[in-house]
């Protein structure tokens, strides 16, 4: 009887620990996605502003907008790095993929800033090519990030909410 009780207690404790790790992993994922959601409205507005500034040749405004977003994205990266990392399966790979994703976003705004700071049309053209190259990499970066997120969720037994990118 005592042996059965010990086995049952061990199973219950194990199941509770798994649920706790699953919740911690889900919360960690959600905390990182919250950082993305904080950036999204400002990033969308900045893209719109940059397009208008470009039409009117307001390069200093493009540089300022890019620099502002560069700072906001870096703040999100710093917030992610400051998050307590749960004891969860695949957490290191997940975090690394998310940081790469945020650094990708930051690089786009760094390119905007550098485009606005360029002092010749030739330098601006070089930055346009760099921006186009960066944008062309977006699908691959998103695919990698989403794959790492799915793998992390599966490994830790939680479901992802549907995301639109």
Mean pLDDT of the chain: 88
Q: State the pLDDT confidence band at 2, using cuts at 50, 70 and 90.
A: very low
Q: State the pLDDT confidence band at 161, using cuts at 50, 70 and 90.
A: confident
What is the mean pLDDT of the segment spanning 102-113? Answer: 97
Contact criterion met (CB below 8 Å) for 39 and 73: yes
The pLDDT value given to residue 96: 97
Q: Tens digits of per-residue pLDDT, 31-82?
A: 999 999 999 999 999 999 999 999 999 999 999 999 999 999 999 999 999 9
Q: Count CA within 13 A, CB hemisphere, residue 21.
A: 17
Q: State the pLDDT confidence band at 163, using cuts at 50, 70 and 90.
A: low
3-state secondary structure of 57: coil
pTM exceeds cut of 0.85: no
Tokens found for residue 132: 């186009």
Cα gap 92→24, rounded to integer Å? 14
Alpha-carbon radius of gyration of the chain: 21
What is the mean pLDDT of the segment spanning 20-24? Answer: 85
């Amino acid at each position: 009887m005592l042996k059965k009780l010990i086995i049952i207690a061990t199973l219950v404790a194990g199941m509770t620990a798994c649920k706790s790790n699953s919740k911690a992993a889900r919360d960690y994922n959600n905390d990182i996605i919250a950082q993305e959601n904080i950036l999204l409205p400002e990033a969308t507005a900045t893209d719109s502003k940059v397009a208008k500034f470009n039409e009117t040749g307001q390069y200093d405004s493009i540089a300022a907008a890019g620099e502002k977003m560069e700072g906001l994205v870096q703040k999100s990266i710093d917030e992610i790095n400051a998050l307590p990392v749960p004891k969860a399966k695949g957490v290191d790979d997940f975090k690394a993929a998310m940081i790469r994703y945020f650094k990708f976003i930051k690089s786009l705004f760094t390119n905007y800033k550098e485009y606005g700071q360029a002092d010749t049309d030739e330098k601006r053209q070089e930055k346009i090519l760099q921006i186009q190259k960066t944008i062309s990499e977006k699908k691959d970066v998103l695919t990698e990030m989403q794959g790492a997120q799915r793998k992390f969720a599966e490994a830790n037994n939680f479901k992802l909410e549907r995301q639109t990118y």
